[in-house]
Structure 1
């Protein structure tokens, strides 16, 4: 059963401008530890590729927060939600801490896709409920 759907589009030029103003501070606010390692590696080889990576992760987290219906308020937070890639390249959502506990207690699972073009990154998330809703929701 579909619990929620979220989508987001992000202007990559806006992410570039934010990085120029804030430097790594913005990336460390938005990215989890594993994402941060990928971002640093990609940025070192090709800075624009790092910006695109950051933009797709920002967009996917916004889409996820919309799909679960809570926006950016606890237990949802930037760093507790990571968008990582399987070996095949398929993106997947990895949750941590309070967000993971809440998500699992709701019996939810998520699917994510991300894409980027010259000026934009976009994401789409579908959240499904595997279990009947908890009695108190």
Structure 2
């Protein structure tokens, strides 16, 4: 049974502007493992990756019904891609029972999360 659904969309130029202004932005959003992946990317792909993770984490927090805050911050959530490219959610280092999808166009990134009851 579905426990929660979350959706988020973010403009790539907004994320690029925040990231270019200060590297601490990406450090507040991405886990250490996600940062390692981010550093292997180049150019526009870095912005797509960062924006996609930002949207996925926002969508997850909405699906939980908490939003981003003390009980659920960006670094509590991790989105790791399997070898196939399928993104998988982790919360407090534990796999999440549910699904996440991330997409982007030239101007926006979006993510949807569906949480399932355990």
Matches within 5 A, 1:14-93: 14-22=14-22, 24-42=23-41, 46-93=42-89
Structure whose CA Rg is larger: 1
Question: TM-score, length-normalised on structure 2?
Answer: 0.94
**Following the alignment from structure 2 to structure 1, what is the Cα–Cα distance between the partners of residues 60 and 84?**
21
Cα deviations by residue, 1:59-102 (Å, 9 ceiling, x for unpaired): 000000000000012321101101110000001102226xx5xx
Q: Output the aligned Cα RMSD.
A: 1.4
TM-score after normalising by structure 1: 0.81
Q: Which segments of 5 or more consecutive residues in structure 1 lack a partner in the other structure?
A: 131-137
> 2: distance between equivalents of 1:62 and 1:73?
11
- Large movers: runs of 4+ above 3 Å: none
Q: Which has the higher helix share?
A: 1
Number of equivalences? 118
